[in-house]
Amino acid sequence: MRAVKRQATHPPHPPHPPRATMSIDTEQYKVSQEPFYQPLDNEIALYEAAYRRRLPVMVKGPTGCGKSRFVEFMAWRLGKPLITVACNEDMTASDLVGRYLLDATGTRWLDGPLTVAARIGAICYLDEIVEARQDTTVVIHPLTDHRRCLPLDKKGEVVTAHPDFQLVISYNPGYQSLMKDLKQSTKQRFSALVFDYPPADLETRIVATETGIAPELAAALVKIAAAARNLKGHGLDEGISTRLLVYAANLMDEGIAPREASRMALVDPITDDEDIRSTLHHAIDAVFP
């Protein structure tokens, strides 16, 4: 299977850092192959409209429902480079913006992924933005309003965003704690697309197309997922995601029996609660005759 987050995450320290003055190879950030994406609603048109006006976009939704895939697909459709940054707690503002490095002769400046994206006119995708600390996320503010610029205070430069530049963030409102939420001032700079797990028939088609298993098997998997999603909040923090369904389907495609594949990919990763395991195992038995 193609990795869902296929687009390589931008490494914090690329081996050959592009200098600000050097031309940057934008081709490496292009999405070369069409990713499979099953539209659920008119989100493609909405996104395109937002892009035409270069509005920053926030994609919200539970884990594994296809947020990253959607962004990747849109980058491919628009033919724009995509720079993905996976956010984490230890990330600092300089990891986004860039920093000075010591050199044998002195220091030199290294652009961060956000700066690169602003310079070359890429779509910059900050995945799981809430994982980053709040003081980090404020650096995106000037890029997300009418100013469309990025001041590099250490360097004393103001990067004006390329006309093609757009900022996209993803955000899972489900499992974040009280401490991890976006500031209002950050939230109010974005237009938002809300994602959820697709309806059963579409999800069946997604699983079948993505892995090539028979549609009846895919439908059975989707039924198990529906059972688990009903338990959200009753011992499960998140239901079974589409991504896990794809995993299970892949295992089945490898010749693993449906029950075993489902247990391995759908039940055991998500819960340690004996009652829930037993219920989901029963659901698997009930769905596969």
Partner 1 sequence: MPVPAPLPPEILAPLRQQLRCNFPQLDQVFPDCMTEARILLSETGIRDYLEGASLICRIGRGFEPVLVYLEEMPRVAADLGEETLALVSQTVWKLSRSPNGKAILPFLQSIAEAARRLASAELLTRYTAMILDFMERTTGSIHGFHTTIPSPSLPDLLERIPYLLSQLTCHGLRNWLDYGLRHYADHPDRQRDYFSLQSADSRAVLQRERHGVLFVDHERQLDLYLRALWQERQTFVPYSDAFDEPRKPLPYFDALGVRIPDCYDDRDGVAGIDRYRALLAHVAAHLRWSGSLVADNLSPFQRIAVETFEDCRVESLALREYPGLRRILLALHPTPAEDACDPERESCIRHRLAMFSRAVLDPDHGYRDPNLLDFVARFHAELAEGSSSTQAIADLAISYIARTRRQQDLAPNVHFTDTEVDYRDDNRHLWRYIEQGDEEEAFEERKPRQADDVETLPPRHYPEWDYQSKTYRPDWVSLYEGLHPSGDPAHIDALLDKHRMLAKRLKQILDLLKPQQYVRLRYQEEGSELDLDVAIRSLIDFRGGATPDPRINMSHRHDGRDIAVMLLLDLSQSLNQIPDGCSQTILELSQEAVALLGWAIDHLGDEFAIAGFSSNTRHEVRYQHIKGYGEGWDDQVKGRLAAMEAGYSTRMGAALRHAAHYLEARQADKKLLLILTDGQPHDIDVDDERLLIEDTHKAVQELDQQGIYTYCINLDSHADEYVRDCFGNRFTVIDRVERLPEKLPQLFMALTK
Identify the H or E element spanning 15. none
Q: Which of 30, 155, 162, 223 binds partner 1 (CB under 8 A)?
A: 223
Binding mask 100-129 toward partner 1 (x if CB under 8 A, else -) reads -xx---------------------------
Considering only the C-alpha atoms of the chain, give the largest distance between any 2 of them, rounded to a whole number of Å: 72
Checking phi first, is residue 98 left (phi over 0); if not, alpha (psi -120 to 50) or beta? left
135 and 167 in contact (C-beta within 8 Å)? no
Q: Which is nearer to partner 1, 147 or 282 (CB)?
A: 282
Q: How far is the CB of 137 from partner 1 (least distance, A)?
A: 16
The verdict on 182 binding partner 1 (CB under 8 A) reads: no
N- to C-terminal Cα distance for the chain? 27
Q: Which is nearer to partner 1, 35 or 198 (CB)?
A: 198
Q: How far is the CB of 281 from partner 1 (least distance, A)?
A: 11
Checking phi first, is residue 61 left (phi over 0); if not, alpha (psi -120 to 50) or beta? left
Q: Which is nearer to partner 1, 60 or 99 (CB)?
A: 99
Query: What string of DSSP letters covers 216-276?
Result: HHHHHHHHHHHHHHHTBTTTBSS---HHHHHHHHHHHHTT--HHHHHIIIIITTT---HHH
> Using CB under 8 A, which of the segments 28-36, 38-46, 201-209, 226-234 binds partner 1?
226-234
The verdict on 94 binding partner 1 (CB under 8 A) reads: yes
Q: Which of 99, 119, 189, 243 binds partner 1 (CB under 8 A)?
A: 99
Checking phi first, is residue 121 left (phi over 0); if not, alpha (psi -120 to 50) or beta? left
Contact set with partner 1 (CB under 8 A): 13, 90, 92, 94, 99, 101-102, 223, 227-228, 230-231, 234-235, 275-276, 278-280, 282-289
